[in-house]
Structure 1
């Protein structure tokens, strides 16, 4: 998960009692709730770049999609287009400045 990589903390550390399911055990929804709460908290502090925020948001949306699978070629293509390319473009712009394409040249 991008949030875990960015902050070097596993999502399990962010669970609160309200996130837990039956028998006080985490469920898939528990992790979604924790990630959403973490995202909103960090977003409110302005800690994310535009592309990073969009990438995390898209990943959370995909979590709820029963057809989301990296073995699905069409889905993999959307991951590339909606997550990887924007993150790479933003990184390159921050490291090397805008390209002629970004400047409209």
Structure 2
């Protein structure tokens, strides 16, 4: 299962880097979102994908799952949602002011395309 998750994480990272290298601001924002989701999956995979009961005191369980990585990833998901929403608002405002979402045109440089 860890190998399958590693392949999925690699695909998420590769597609995120591809999107972040484009000139469109919306693609860059989507790429950062994919990159953060890949990082979340990597944290959960590194913690170990095991099955077990909840870690409650007083229960004699043979195996239990560690709640710390799950709590960290939940916090990171909320933070990345807020950052993505902020990026989208800034990109929308920049599009309203400048009329484009191309990074080179926002800078004022001429493109050869």
Do these two structures clear the TM 0.5 threshold for a shared fold by scoring above it? no
TM-score w.r.t. the length of structure 1 is 0.32
TM-score w.r.t. the length of structure 2 is 0.30
Larger Rg: 2
